[in-house]
Amino acid sequence: MPYDPGNVFARILRDEIPSDRVYEDDEVVAFRDIAPHAPTHIVVIPRGEPPTSPAELDDADAPWVGRLVVRASRIAAEQGLAHDGYRLILNCGAHGGQTVPHLHMHILGGRPLGPLG
């Protein structure tokens, strides 16, 4: 699927839509989700035009995707989630719950999240 530069995350990156940012660097921006599913719900998005979903990743993407996971873990720790735990989620496609065609990761925590399934 071709990248849509008008997607909501691209617009957040261009500051066309405000966001409650908790972290940003040269590679990623992290902000609080406007419809949280847990007391702490942060979305971590890569800058630029990443693949639209995890299904489009290939071996060449491994270094920056690894850094995305590391940054998300650091952000979770900075938010006080490391002691009790948290969940990192990459949704893929409509059946996986993905609503924005810009690869992104969710950090959820602040309460027991229960098992998956």
Beta strands in 17-111 (DSSP E): 21-24, 28-32, 40-46, 86-89, 105-109
CATH of the domain at 102: 3.30.428.10
Round the CA-based radius of gyration of the chain to a whole number and report it: 14
In a domain, residue 117? The reply is no
Confidence band, pLDDT 50/70/90 cuts, at residue 43: very high
For this structure, is 41 an active site residue? no
Tally of structural domains, the chain: 1
φ, ψ of residue 14 in degrees (nearest 5): -90, 5
Question: pLDDT tens digits for 10-32?
Answer: 999 999 999 999 999 999 999 99
Report the share of the chain in percent with pLDDT over 70.
Answer: 99
Confidence band, pLDDT 50/70/90 cuts, at residue 59: very high
Segments forming the whole domain that contains residue 14: 8-109
* The pLDDT of residue 117: 65
pLDDT greater than 70 at residue 56: yes
In a domain, residue 36? The reply is yes
3-class SS of residue 62: helix
In a domain, residue 114? The reply is no
Catalytic-role residue among 41, 102, 104, 106? 104
Q: What is the distance between the alpha carbons of residues 25 and 16, in angstroms, rounded to a whole number? A: 18
Q: Which of 50, 40, 2, 43 is nearest to 19 (CA)?
A: 43
Q: Are 44 and 89 in contact (CB under 8 A)?
A: no
